[in-house]
């Protein structure tokens, strides 16, 4: 399990940034800005406090944190969310890694939960009230510390107790509606579409007392706590392992006022499509294929090129170390048989070793930039077809990582989950581009 813990560094980071950090990255231009960033620091404080008792006049549906109950009145958001990865953030790979951790090393498991199942009600353990003062001050980072180094919540498993408000079914729902919208049973949301912050009716006449509306929901910083490591977080080659917000901030889209929501929640849809969705990737990346000639004679060299252009991805393509894009070439003869030694594959992305100690290469494509892969082969017969493809493997790192750790996993339940994660990960690969051209 030690390697599993080590692994967590890839994804482990910092939820709940301090106002200080935000203020530093984004010089506030107005008092509104300050107020919104302060709202976010409080909204995403870590850990999110338990909701407590619902107001006495709430019906059981209003009091419920369960997305199925929100769905009674917010059907569209529910259907979108159900199809999104936020609703699957407690998938087999995550549970496979946290189910033992929550007993052996609760602080690390709670760190995982802070992004994958962030509500107190989704977490089976809490820090005891009388535990030694936490080093955690709303600002935290996760780095390669030996398991016995003092952690942000202190070390000892005895400092944690079983959480009475814990709901296993809510935990399975992952990043649910309430994780983003509900604090102390109060609903928080964006301004109305006309920009107003008022409820339609007096709060007492509305389900769940209406909502508190703030433009903070429309800012990229709303997403930052889970999609950006802190400046002192885990890094390789001087680059943070999770840097999506900064990539966006330094790129053209932040200047144009295009936020994460503009691309990932168009029309406020709750879809959050990304690297796992072929249409989304096609919208953000164009593939250009070229050959220097139409037909080649025996003895001539075919010169082919594929360029990937980041035309509409708001950050590096891809942004994380986990996905890979494979540009693949081969020659096949007239009966479709592969020509010996004609296969060439090039991986694009940021490749790190499975123990996260080394970066092997970083060929990600920044906004507006492109990357070209060339293929040169001598034509040795007629009737050859050049077959080119670009394959996206969204879960490449995870698949390889689970494959490597499986032989050492003793607990059967964990094995079953990780095997499921490998199968699901493999099934998520898709072609972005394919082309067959007769070349001789």
Given a contact cutoff of 8 angstroms between Cβ atoms, the answer to whether 365 and 371 are in contact is yes
Q: Which residues of 75-111 are buried (b: 16+ CB within 10 A; e: fewer)?
A: eebbebbeebbbbbbbbbbbbbbbebbbeebbbbbbb
CA-to-CA distance for 337 and 314, rounded, in angstroms?
Answer: 41
CB of residue 437 vs ligand HEC: minimum separation in angstroms? 26
Q: Alpha-carbon distance 63 to 348, whole Å? A: 47
The distance of closest approach from Cβ of residue 330 to ligand HEC in the complex, given in angstroms and rounded to an integer, is: 26
Nearer to ligand HEC, 159 or 244 (CB): 244
> Which residue, 88 or 387, has its beta carbon nearer to ligand HEC?
88
Supply 95's token pair: 């549970």
Nearer to ligand HEC, 57 or 129 (CB): 57
**CB of residue 47 to ligand HEC, shortest distance in Å:** 11
Closer to ligand HEC by Cβ: residue 87 or 440: 87
- Closer residue to ligand HEC, CB minimum distance, 324 or 387: 324
| CB 75 to ligand HEC: min, Å | 9
* Residue positions counted in the chain: 440
Q: Which two tokens stand for residue 306?
A: 């594929």
- 111 or 386, CB closer to ligand HEC? 111
Q: How far is the CB of 17 from ligand HEC (least distance, A)?
A: 10
Q: Find out whether 355 and 368 touch, Cβ atoms under 8 Å.
A: no
Distance from the first to the final alpha carbon of the chain: 54
Residue pointed to by tokens 């594929």: 306
Residue 390 C-beta: closest distance to ligand HEC, Å:
13
Contacts of 162 (CB under 8 A, 6+ apart): 124, 125
CB of 18 to ligand HEC, least distance (A): 15
Within 10 Å of residue 261's Cβ, how many Cβ atoms?
Answer: 18
Distance CA 74, CA 56 (A): 23
The residue among 348 and 384 lying less far from ligand HEC, judged by its C-beta, is 348
User: Residue 302 or 348: which CB sits closer to ligand HEC?
Assistant: 348
Residues 6+ apart with CB under 8 A from 303: 291, 292, 293, 374, 375, 376
Least distance (Å) between residue 357 CB and ligand HEC = 17
């Amino acid at each position: 399990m030690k390697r599993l813990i080590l692994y967590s560094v890839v994804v482990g980071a910092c939820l709940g940034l301090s106002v200080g950090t935000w203020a530093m990255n984004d010089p506030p231009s107005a008092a509104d800005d300050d107020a919104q960033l302060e709202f976010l620091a409080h909204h995403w404080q870590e850990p999110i406090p338990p909701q407590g008792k619902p107001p006495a006049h709430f019906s059981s549906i209003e009091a419920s944190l369960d997305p199925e109950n929100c769905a009674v009145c917010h059907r569209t958001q529910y259907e979108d969310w159900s199809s999104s990865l936020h609703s699957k953030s407690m998938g087999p790979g995550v549970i496979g890694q946290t189910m033992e951790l929550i007993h052996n090393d609760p602080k690390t498991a709670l760190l995982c939960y802070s992004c994958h199942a962030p509500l107190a009600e989704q977490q089976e353990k809490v820090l005891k009230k009388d535990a030694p003062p936490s080093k955690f001050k709303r600002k935290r980072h996760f780095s390669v510390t030996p398991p016995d180094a003092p952690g942000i919540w202190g070390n000892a498993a005895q400092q944690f107790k079983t959480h009475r408000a814990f709901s296993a079914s809510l935990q399975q729902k992952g990043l649910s509606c309430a994780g983003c919208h509900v604090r102390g049973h109060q609903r928080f949301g964006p301004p109305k579409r006309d920009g107003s912050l008022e409820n339609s009716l007096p709060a007492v006449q509305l389900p769940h007392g209406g909502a508190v509306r703030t433009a903070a929901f429309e800012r990229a910083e709303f997403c930052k706590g889970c999609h950006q490591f802190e400046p002192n977080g885990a890094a390789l080659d001087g680059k943070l392992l999770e840097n999506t917000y900064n990539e966006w901030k330094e790129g053209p889209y932040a200047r144009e006022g295009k936020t994460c929501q503009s691309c990932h929640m168009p029309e406020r849809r709750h879809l959050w499509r990304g690297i796992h969705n072929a249409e989304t990737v096609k919208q953000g990346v164009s593939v250009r294929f070229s050959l220097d000639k139409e037909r080649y004679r025996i003895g001539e060299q075919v010169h082919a090129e594929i360029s990937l252009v980041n035309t509409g991805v708001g950050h590096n393509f891809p942004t994380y170390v986990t996905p890979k894009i494979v540009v693949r070439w081969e020659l096949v003869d007239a009966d479709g048989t592969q020509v010996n030694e004609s296969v060439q594959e090039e991986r694009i992305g940021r490749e790190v070793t499975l123990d996260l100690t080394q970066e092997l290469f970083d060929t990600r494509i920044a906004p507006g930039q492109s990357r070209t892969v060339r293929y040169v082969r001598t034509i040795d017969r007629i009737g050859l077809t050049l077959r080119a493809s670009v394959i996206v493997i969204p879960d490449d790192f995870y698949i390889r990582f689970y494959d490597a750790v499986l032989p050492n996993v003793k607990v059967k339940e964990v094995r079953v989950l990780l095997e499921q994660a490998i199968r699901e990960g493999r099934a998520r690969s898709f072609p972005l581009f394919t082309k067959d051209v007769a070349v001789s």
